[in-house]
Amino acid sequence: MKRQKHKSNKNKKSMIICFSIFMSIYLGGSAYFINHFHFGTKINGINVTGKTVKQADELISSSISIYVLELQGRDGKNEEIKGTNIALTYNPKDKITNLKDSQNPLSWITSIFSNSHTKFDELVKFDETLLKEQINKLSYFDSKNIVKPKNAGFNYIDDAYEIEKEVMGNKIIKKNLYENIKSSFLKGDTLLNLGDTNSYENPKYITNSNEVLEAKKLLDKYTSMKITYTFGSKQETADGSIINKWLETDENMNVVFNEKKMISYITSLAREYNTFGNAIDFLSSSGKTIQVNGGNYGWLIDKTKEVKDLIEIIKNGQDVTKEPAYSQTAVSHDKNDIGNTYLEIDMTKQHVWFYKNGALVTEGDVVTGNLNNNCETPVGVCRLNYKERKATLKGKNYSAPVNFWLPFNGNIGLHDASWRDKFGGEIYKTSGSHGCVNAPYELANKIFDNIESGTPVVCYYEK
């Protein structure tokens, strides 16, 4: 029993000694950490364990004196800005002191098993004017090296569209770069990746953007169709190889139509198939072939309307066979487009013939425009504008009521002339009309009853 009691007393004495040592260390440590930072304390990546505020200030300040910010740009174009070039100086204010004051000296022992990494912004100050000067010197602003960003686009190759990859470019947004560099200095960062920030002007749409994929679908739809134009027995076809030239995308990746290019295509059709005002080789009633120039007759494509029609057809996405929109039509698409129903006026013979479906309906002598006072009836192939009964023709110094009015070239037309008792011969040379074709009542009546608006009227002098 005495031996056990002696052992127990010895153990208690050892524990008291250990506790006393621990308390001495703990209290000594607590006294030390009243003025020193805990274990594992880092400020902006700098280890200040066991440092006083003054020592920490000196350590941080010395790192700032050699501070360099590295800029990592696209295409391996890297730059750097040194703190010394922008008058970068240590300016902690009360931040370091407040951090030290926040550490309880009595809890120093727990810091052995943990780390305290503190990131302070704005531990420094610098000259903003100098910073702007340094930024202006960066190679990123050399116009010879700047590549502008470009949206993903489209190429029509082998009857299909391919997406053209976007160009990221390297054009800097100067305002953003300045703010990012300024922020890096204030945060104490040593690396700024320009591609990971908003420092670059980037393309709005890239290869896998939904807008790009949707635009491709629409472009493929539009170019998969075929438009067949008919011109009598002849045809012209516009398929994807032509339609793709009319299609573009706007700044919002909407598919739009280039109407100028569409007009150009329709113009090429018009050059080939318009006959408006063209000279024709006309087989006259006397059996001679006469070339007749001028007038307002013939096929005339309405380019503006046809472009609008085309756009709607393409949007619909279905193959079509059609005639173009015409502002004026003719009887036939044959070389002789006047057909076999027409009014023929031979101003040399002062005679007219009216044929309907190839058969002569009527003919007779007339009086045309006065040659002596330059009022001759114009040569050309025209179309009958309309027909009117009981009209009054008015001009300078005259007003003449007529029973049958058939205008075909502006204010010039064929009508009865009750004031004349003779027709034909050479009356027209000195006593002709103001430009119209004067006909006897019966002749004018017969023509009026059988002719329709739009009928060709061929006026010529036989040489």
The answer to whether residue 326 scores a pLDDT higher than 90 is yes
* Catalytic (active site) residue 459: no
Give the range among 93-97, 134-138, 147-151 with minimum mean pLDDT.
93-97
- CATH number, domain with residue 262: 3.10.20.800
CATH number, domain with residue 363 = 2.40.440.10
Classify residue 159: in a domain, yes or no.
Answer: no
Distances in whole angstroms, Cα of residue 306 to Cα of each of 120, 148, 206, 390: 69, 38, 35, 39
> Closest by alpha carbon to 88, among 59, 62, 57, 56?
62
Is the pLDDT confidence value at 100 over 90?
A: no
Give me the domain span that covers residue 423.
Answer: 342-460
Has residue 422 got a pLDDT over 70? yes
Segment holding 292, helix H or strand E: strand 289-292
Q: Are residues 320 and 215 in the same domain?
A: yes
Burial class (CB in 10 A: 0-12, 13-18, 19+), 23: exposed
> Which of 86, 113, 140 finishes a domain?
140
Same domain assignment for residues 225 and 308: yes
Whether 316 and 383 map to the same domain: the answer is: no
Whether residue 410 is found in the same domain as residue 454: yes
50 and 87 inside one domain? yes
Q: How many helices and strands in the chain, by DSSP H and E? A: 11, 28
Active-site hit among 382, 415, 434, 459: 415
User: What is the rounded CA–CA span in Å between residue 278 and residue 344?
Assistant: 17
Q: Is 202 within the bounds of a domain?
A: no
* 415 is known as an active-site residue: yes
| CA–CA dist 133, 30 (Å, integer) | 50
Q: Give me the catalytic one of 382, 434, 436, 459.
A: 436
| % pLDDT > 90, the chain | 74
Per-residue pLDDT at 4 exceeds 70: no
pTM attached to this predicted model: 0.74
Q: Are residues 229 and 268 in the same domain?
A: yes
Mean pLDDT of 289-312: 95
d(CA 418, CA 441): 7
Predicted local distance difference test score (pLDDT) of residue 3: 53
Nearest to 452 by CA among 416, 408, 422, 396: 408
pLDDT value at position 7?
A: 58
Element (H, E) at 291: strand 289-292
* pLDDT tens-digit series, residues 206-250: 999 999 999 999 999 999 999 999 999 999 999 999 999 999 999
pLDDT tens readout for residues 266-283: 999 999 999 998 999 999
Number of domains in the chain: 3
Predicted pLDDT at 232? 93
Is 183's pLDDT higher than 60? yes
Assigned domain for 308 exists: yes
